[in-house]
Amino acid sequence: MNPPLLEAINLTRRYGDLVAVNDISFKINTGQCVGLLGPNGAGKTTTVEMLEGLVSPTSGEVRYRGEPLKDQMASAAGIMFQSTALQDYMTVREALVMFSRFYDEPVPIDRLVEQCALDNFLDQDSRKVSGGQRQRLLLAIALVNNPDVLFLDEPTTGLDPDARQRFWHLISSIQAEGKTIVITTHYMEEARVLCDELMFMHQGKILAQGKPDTLLSERFEDATVSLPNEVADSVLDEFKLAFPEAMASRNDQSTSITTSELNQVLGYLVGTGADLSQLDVSKPTLDDLFMSLAAEGDAA
């Protein structure tokens, strides 16, 4: 059986009295997209820097393909930092050529241009491209050495919704080619769309880890059904008799019913013959999970 691509074993990093990362262990398999989530100061960046080989652990170790991490990441990793300074007065094409010269066998420039959709602004000054275009350029630079693992640090911060979704599509296509991706993000929708596995960090510890849907189903059982008040008024009295455990709340426009018996509740409402054209069903999201875990971490 092949070892994981990356493995953290009892990883700890201290800065004086501050414990930035506190005895964490996990594995990242080839082809996965793994997201590190958590509030500022949770230890995400320090963890990633240890995986990249940029910071040495105070104790514990990182293994790459089963071997202790030394300098393998110099050739095996592509890193897209949250902020990267580019040479002034350099076109996008010239930036790619410059970074490709750092490696013996770089990915051909034409391939990077196609992969990251750079052709429409290839000859523009790299300082004058849009935010989304700049992020695609930085991604191409991170891919120039054909890395085994791609590290993305808050890659869509500051992008508008359209540019963000275009970037997500690009990342998904790169993962489909077999790349392993490690991403830090504060956007829960981004994590849901891109990541196979999530790790929620708080105060240097991993509070929860797993697939997004699994984490949500383990943490939350309830769903919320919302109805216009005039519809709710016609069914709520008898509904409460049928589902005494369901919780109902009301505002000026609608009534919300929180229940762990969603299928039964929906079946009951259909059976009443009420107008359900404006019925809305919502379930807890990764944002709810993030807030719940952060609150637990603060209380611990």
> For the domain that residue 238 is a member of, what is the CATH number?
3.30.70.980
| 143 within a domain of the structure (yes/no) | yes
Which tokens go with 78? 């592509």
- One domain for residues 125 and 253: no
For residue 188, give the 3-state DSSP assignment.
helix
- One domain for residues 263 and 148: no
pLDDT reported for residue 109: 95
CA 137 from centroid of its chain's CA atoms: 20
Q: Is residue 295's pLDDT more than 90?
A: no
Instruction: Measure the CA–CA gap between 119 and 114, rounded to whole angstroms.
Output: 7
Within 13 Å and on the Cβ side, how many CA atoms surround 296? 14
- One domain for residues 37 and 65: yes
pLDDT reported for residue 300: 66
Q: Which residue segment(s) compose the domain that 247 sits in?
A: 221-283
The last residue of one of the domains, among 166, 192, 217, is 217
Q: Is residue 1's pLDDT more than 90?
A: no
Q: Is residue 228's pLDDT more than 70?
A: yes
- One domain for residues 48 and 158: yes
Q: What is the average pLDDT value for the chain, to the nearest integer? A: 92
The last residue of one of the domains, among 217, 238, 272, is 217
Total number of domains in the chain: 2
Task: State pLDDT tens for residues 251-292.
Answer: 999 999 999 899 999 999 999 999 999 999 999 999 999 888
- One domain for residues 126 and 249: no
Task: Give the residue, 42 or 299, on which the prediction is more confident.
Answer: 42
| 122 within a domain of the structure (yes/no) | yes
This prediction's pTM: 0.88
| 226 within a domain of the structure (yes/no) | yes
pLDDT reported for residue 299: 72
Task: State pLDDT tens for residues 161-195.
Answer: 999 999 999 999 999 999 999 999 989 999 999 99
- One domain for residues 148 and 132: yes
Question: Is-contact 21 43, C-beta < 8 A?
Answer: yes
- One domain for residues 173 and 233: no
For residue 282, give the 3-state DSSP assignment.
strand
- One domain for residues 164 and 258: no
- One domain for residues 233 and 189: no
Q: To 10 degrees, the CA torsion angle through 174, 170, 46, 55?
A: 50
| 97 within a domain of the structure (yes/no) | yes
CATH number assigned to the domain comprising residue 54: 3.40.50.300
- One domain for residues 175 and 226: no
- One domain for residues 25 and 105: yes
For residue 72, give the 3-state DSSP assignment.
coil
DSSP H helical ranges for the chain: 44-52, 73-76, 92-100, 109-115, 131-142, 161-176, 188-194, 212-219, 229-242, 262-271, 286-299
Question: Is-contact 137 129, C-beta < 8 A?
Answer: yes
- One domain for residues 128 and 146: yes
Q: Per-residue confidence at 83, pLDDT binned at 50, 70, 90?
A: confident
Three-state secondary structure readout of 31-65: CCEEEEECCCCCCHHHHHHHHHCCCCCCEEEEEEC
